[in-house]
Amino acid sequence: MPYELLILERDGKVATITLNRPDKRNALNTALRDEVRVALEELEGDDSVSVAIITGAGAVFCAGFDTSEFATVPPEQIFSGESSRRYHHRLQHFAKPLVAAINGSAMGGGFDIAVLADLRVAAETASFGHPEIKFGAAALYGPLAAVVGGSVARDLCLSGRRIDAAEALTIGVVNKVVPPADLLREAKALAGVIAEAPLPALRQIKASIVEAAPFRFPAG
């Protein structure tokens, strides 16, 4: 299907989803969340694709939820409504490996995308945080705790502090940090290595990863 707020590209067995609202710092409005969900569903059904990469256009990976929608939609509906539930469920339950190529700031919901991916490659300019706690929105603790452990996740979710790429690597948020110019090349190289395995085997291990998650999003 045609997409307005993201770019979907295929290169052999690897597909790349690029969040494409650079003028809005790739903030997750309802339309973009819905397009991400549909793109993942499309790739899930495409047996020519074994691995997906998700990244952002411009200098920011994703600034989180688009707070401009608060003017017309109650925040609780944005954070926990049907669109949000279906989006988070699809991100976590995507049946193939998902690699996040984090090209810049990953705040709030952008941080959630990163930790809901299976592997994370970050540019040296990347940063992470859950600043939403400061305006009364609770962060998604479960997915972060599954990646970094409960103690670190409590720190980041309760304090809302920002961490840079070097600290993210040290505490296990990301798997690798690279120069910005090398980010997509490194992410595609990693995805290519994963794609060498047969797709049924990748689907099986991804199902095991989802099953083992201590917190799973219900279907919307």
Express each pLDDT in 65-110 by its tens digit. Answer: 887 766 566 555 555 567 788 999 999 999 999 999 999 999 999 9
Residue 217, domain member (yes or no): no
Whether residue 144 is contained in a domain is answered as yes
Average pLDDT, the chain: 93
Q: Which of 199, 182, 174, 176 minimizes the C-alpha distance to 51?
A: 199
CATH of the domain at 110: 3.90.226.10
Q: Is residue 220 one of the residues assigned to a domain?
A: no
Percentage of the chain modeled with pLDDT above 70: 93
156 part of a folded domain: yes
pLDDT value of position 171: 98
Catalytically annotated residue among 76, 82, 132, 186: 132
Q: What is the pLDDT of residue 71?
A: 53
* Contact present, 167 and 136 (Cβ < 8 Å): no
Residue 219 maps to a domain:
no
Question: For residue 73, what pLDDT is reported?
Answer: 63
Residue 41 a catalytic site member: no
pLDDT, tens digit, 9 for 90 and up, residues 144-158: 999 999 999 999 999
pTM for this prediction: 0.94
Contact indicator for 185, 176 with CB cutoff of 8 Å? no
Is position 1 within any domain? no
Q: Is residue 218 part of a domain?
A: no
The pLDDT score that the predictor gives to residue 129 is 98
Per-residue pLDDT of 10-53, as tens digits, reads 999 999 999 999 999 999 999 999 999 999 999 999 999 999 99
What domain count does the chain have? Answer: 1
- CA–CA distance, 158 with 112 (Å, rounded to integer): 15
By residue range, what is the domain housing residue 68?
6-212
